[in-house]
Amino acid sequence: MLVLFDFDGTLADTLPRLLRLWPQLARELRLNDPGPEGLQALRSRPLAEVLAALKVPWWKVPPLLWRGRTLLHGDPEPIAFFPGMADLLCSLDSLGVEWGILTTNGLALVRRALRENGVPEPGLLEAGLGLSGKRERLRHLAQQQEIALSQVVLVADEPRDAEAAQAAGVGFLGVAWGYATAQALRASGGGRIVETPEELLEALMEGRYVLDGAVAEEELRPGFLSRLARRFAWLPDLF
């Protein structure tokens, strides 16, 4: 089993930082700035509608991503992981579970965030992707790791991630605490949505995730579930 995590909105709580930096991005690139409340309202809309509302034509997407990464990396504030996520990654790593990160964000920023949150860098770290680059990378990584697509699961927070997973033929688990709302994820047909890191851990432990519109069950090596359950016995105290 290979677990691939999105970064922004799934592992790292970068939405407040983006809301704070958007006015500068909008000024520099001559985009629309609907204000914090307007940006929050866009979380429930599909990507195409978000780009239209912000007046981002297709040819401005690459410079927008580049400048956004630069501003995010230059922001001195620490990058906080969502509660429970750093511990989940550390435990997966210590148990020998193969996991990685796929993100549109910059490599330097992701590495910095991992260090700040005490998480070892995974062997699979794909950064700087475009808004629609995950489908190809999912297939490539599965081939590179010589693992069946049915044994790969993407954990992410946006409808475009669910669509990429479905197009690539891999499993998907959506998280409700990210950039897109849980309602937007469900409306996209993304399948199973988890509300807390505890529920995410349970889904991974059970090997249950959405694959081609159905719940797939993955065989995990003997002893994995019991060891992981003991490791995370403290999690319910957080919620």
Residue range 112-143, pLDDT digits in tens: 999 999 998 998 898 877 666 688 889 888 88
Q: Which fold has domain 2-12+81-238?
A: Rossmann fold (3.40.50)
Query: Taking the domains of the chain in order of start, what are their residue ranges?
Result: 2-12+81-238, 15-74
State the pLDDT at residue 70: 85
State the pLDDT at residue 28: 94
Average pLDDT, the chain: 82
State the pLDDT at residue 235: 46
Least confident of 72-81, 162-171, 227-236: 227-236
Phi, psi of 173 (to 5 degrees): -125, 120
Q: 220: which residues sit within 8 A by CB, 6+ positions away?
A: 1, 205, 207
The answer to whether 22 touches 172, Cβ cutoff 8 Å, is: no
State the pLDDT at residue 76: 78
pLDDT digits (tens, 9 = 90+) for 199-234: 888 888 776 565 544 444 444 443 444 444 444 444
Q: Is the pLDDT of residue 80 over 50?
A: yes
